[in-house]
Amino acid sequence: MLIALRSVGRELSTSCLLPASPKEREAFLAAARVGVLVVASSGEPPLALPMWYDYEPGGLISFITARDSSKAAAIRGAQQVGLCVHSDEYPYKYVSVWGPVTEIQETVTEADRRARARRYLGSHGGDRYVAERIDATPSGAPARGHLRSSRRRPSE
């Protein structure tokens, strides 16, 4: 499943550790970092899950997960999800993004999975990762979805 956060106009709904312009926040999000996806569900504790994601400034933040997973079920039922991306290097930085899920695609192509894996692992490592995961995963298990940010929260 692919989940994505879309900017509204040119701004994302974000907060950040240090004062940053929308362009600086978007550039920070565009770097290959592992994000923590937060999904709240009614009557249950929120899930906070490390996720690879993809983002180009002004576009979608997208995630891929197995469509039959508890994570996917929580995302389908959530009214809002959030993503926190941070840097471990001083000066420490983070950007949090949140919004409602607006689209879910139930299938993901091998090319989509390969592009995401290459973003994090390079060409050789990404190809190897996808080959190993396809062999270990039932056919068509990943799915995609989209998330749209619709409001801006003040920086913290």
- The CA distance from 129 to 91, in Å, is 32
Residue 16's CATH number: 2.30.110.10
- The CA distance from 37 to 47, in Å, is 8
Please choose, from the candidates 43, 41, 18, 38, the residue with its C-alpha nearest in 3D space to the C-alpha of residue 28: 18
3-state DSSP helix/strand/coil % of the chain, to nearest 5 = 30, 40, 35
Q: Find the angle CA(34)-CA(38)-CA(40) to the nearest 5 degrees.
A: 165
Domain count, the chain: 1
pLDDT at position 6 is: 53
pLDDT at position 12 is: 43
Q: Is residue 153 part of a domain?
A: no
- In order along its 156 residues, the chain shows pLDDT tens digits of 665 555 433 334 555 666 678 888 888 989 999 999 998 877 778 889 899 998 888 888 888 888 888 888 888 888 678 889 999 888 888 888 888 777 788 888 889 889 999 999 999 999 999 998 865 454 444 545 444 443 334 333
pLDDT at position 5 is: 53
Q: Is residue 80 part of a domain?
A: yes
- The CA distance from 31 to 119, in Å, is 9
Domain that holds residue 124: 2-148
Q: Is residue 49 part of a domain?
A: yes
Quick check: 69 and 47 in contact, CB under 8 A? no
pLDDT at position 1 is: 60
